[in-house]
Amino acid sequence: MNSSSSQPANQALAPVAAQDRVFVWRDHASLWFSLGVGLLVMQMGAYLLPALSPVQALMAITLGSLIGAALLGWVGKLGCDSGLSSAGLMHSVYGRHFARLPIVLNIIQLLGWGSFELVVMRDATVALGKQSGAMTATYWPWLATLFWGSVILLLMSGSMVTLVRRIVSRVALPLVIASLLWLSWQFLAMANAAGFATLMSREGDGSMSMLSAMDLVIAMPISWLPLVADYARHGKSGKSALTGAWTGFALANIWCYSLGVLVALTLPSEDLVTALLLAQGGLIALSLVLIDEVDNAYGDAYSAAMSAHSILPSWSIRRWGLLIAALCTALAMVLPMHSLEPFLLLLSSCFVPLFGVMLGRLAFGANAVELMHDAPAVRWDAVAIWVAGIAFYHLLPYLSSAMGSALPTLVLTFMVATTTRQRQPRTAAA
């Protein structure tokens, strides 16, 4: 029997076979450190000033990153223990028919974020080109978009496991760490020259509370929750998936958010790329960070392909991936993605209560595979908690602008889902 015939018809809804589970702690940590690094993350860090003092901003970054990355690792452990993709976990919690709604929403948001990543890469490429005296013509943004879109198409034609183990772990990770070290060194030197103690003693203007700032920090790891199981399911151990994803993403998130704060302190600018280019050696360091952005766009495209495959398995994951990558490239060229960012953030808010419910239902011994096989068309209790959670998420800012929305919504939906889970069958974890 050939390898293709031994594959299940729907790879997204079938557990990964034991012999195909190859990721170890280093693979999980390398992947999620790499995915946690990005120009958008640094820009989000810069947004914390001047609302907070630098000390308050660093505290919010550390706490928010540890909490958000822990949630990311927890969902990764569920995916690894069960061998199921994110789509499979949604089927087990929300029912085999209703699960298609959040799966479709996930595909839409991943198309949007994948296109947005290409726009970020395009803008950074053009800025780098202008810094070196090239790319001044009006057609360069189009060419840059096509170039990066072609890179994603090329990567989608290969193996995800090979990409993570050979390219991300062995090549991309050392380069991006070197670039972050260099940028950090340069901006720390600038801060010391300007008086580090004086910069750090600045007071915030109070326009953002600590909890709201933590909400902004947690938003980044939470945005990856719909993707983590698609990769963690290839892990050998649930513990290594949890700790690897937690460690890798927390370190990257803390580092990049803090670097954004440091840049805002030393070279305040509305254009983060321009500020980074002003650092000595910034052209080379920023180029390496830009190359690392490729895996973010690839991650969006691969998970969107996995979700689409779960709905229409007659198309392979690779075939869906090529289509998704092509669509992201086309959207990046024709849509004003920067003006669509609020819509993408609004769509992402649906996934905070979605995963609060999933964690409550699948943690502490539930067998996701059995729940998926025994799932009715709709699990109405889980659906009701999710819908109520979405309403609570958007209502909370009107009740208290200081609390944030993500953490309270996660806690509420998790607690309600946990206390009502006796209505579902429970077995020992696989």
Other beta carbons within 10 Å of 15: 21
Span 348-402, pLDDT tens digits:
789 999 999 999 999 887 888 888 888 899 999 999 999 999 999 999 888 877 7
Distance CA 351, CA 222 (A): 8
Nearest to 232 by CA among 108, 47, 80, 126: 80
Residue at token pair 């790319």 = 135
Both tokens of residue 276? 């980074």
State how far the alpha carbon of 375 is from the alpha carbons of 343, 355, 356, 385, in Å.
Answer: 32, 18, 19, 17
Q: What is the mean pLDDT of residues 196-202?
A: 90
Pairwise CA distance, residues 299 & 296, whole Å: 5
Higher pLDDT, 123 or 301: 301
- The total number of residues written for the chain in this structure: 430
Asked if 57 contacts 213 with a C-beta cutoff of 8 angstroms, the reply is yes
pTM above 0.85, yes or no: yes
Residue 7 has pLDDT above 70, yes or no: no
Q: DSSP of 33-82, one letter per residue?
A: HHHH--HHHHHHHHTTTTTS-HHHHHHHHHHHHHHHHHHHHHHHHHHHHH
Give the list of residues 6+ apart from residue 79 with CB closer than 8 angstroms, or none: 85, 86, 89, 228, 229, 230, 231, 232, 233, 241
b or e along 56-78 (b: 16 or more beta carbons within 10 Å of the residue's beta carbon)? Answer: bbbebbbbbbbbbbbbbbbbbbb
Query: Could you give phi then psi for residue 189, rounded to 5 degrees?
Result: -65, -40
> Residue 383 half-sphere exposure, CB side, CA atoms within 13 Å?
15
Mean pLDDT for the chain?
88
Which residue, among 390, 350, 378, 419, has the nearest Cα to 94 in the 3D structure?
Answer: 378
Domains contained in the chain, CATH given:
20-341 (1.10.4160.10)
Contact 136, 130 (CB under 8 A): yes
**C-alpha–C-alpha distance, residues 25 and 403, integer Å:** 35
Report pLDDT for 67: 94
